[in-house]
Amino acid sequence: MKRKKKPSKPIDPKSVFQLACKFAATEQYVRSRDNPEAGFMASPSMVLSAFAIELFSKMLVAPGEQGD
């Protein structure tokens, strides 16, 4: 038996953009510090960058999908 999908709330582009900025700022903070563990933190830093890029990219597409 297939479950019915709950109706999704409309996505607020401003909140998605703010979240992307937070990911980007966190990555920049981790990368820019004089940190002896910088090599150890390279992979997590790349993941933060990837999340930020994905969200920023979705913001380029989302307004067109909503008819704005």
Say how many C-beta atoms besides its own lie within 10 A of residue 55's C-beta: 19
pLDDT of residue 63: 59
| Domain that includes residue 32, residue range | 13-65
pLDDT at 68 over 50: no
Residue 1 lies in a domain: no
Count of structural domains, the chain: 1
Confidence band for 29, pLDDT divided at 50, 70 and 90:
confident
Residue 39 lies in a domain: yes
Q: Higher pLDDT residue, 50 or 3? A: 50
pLDDT at 33 over 70: no
pLDDT of residue 64: 53
Residue 45 lies in a domain: yes
Distance between CA atoms of residues 23 and 62, nearest Å: 19
Q: Mean pLDDT throughout 34-60?
A: 84
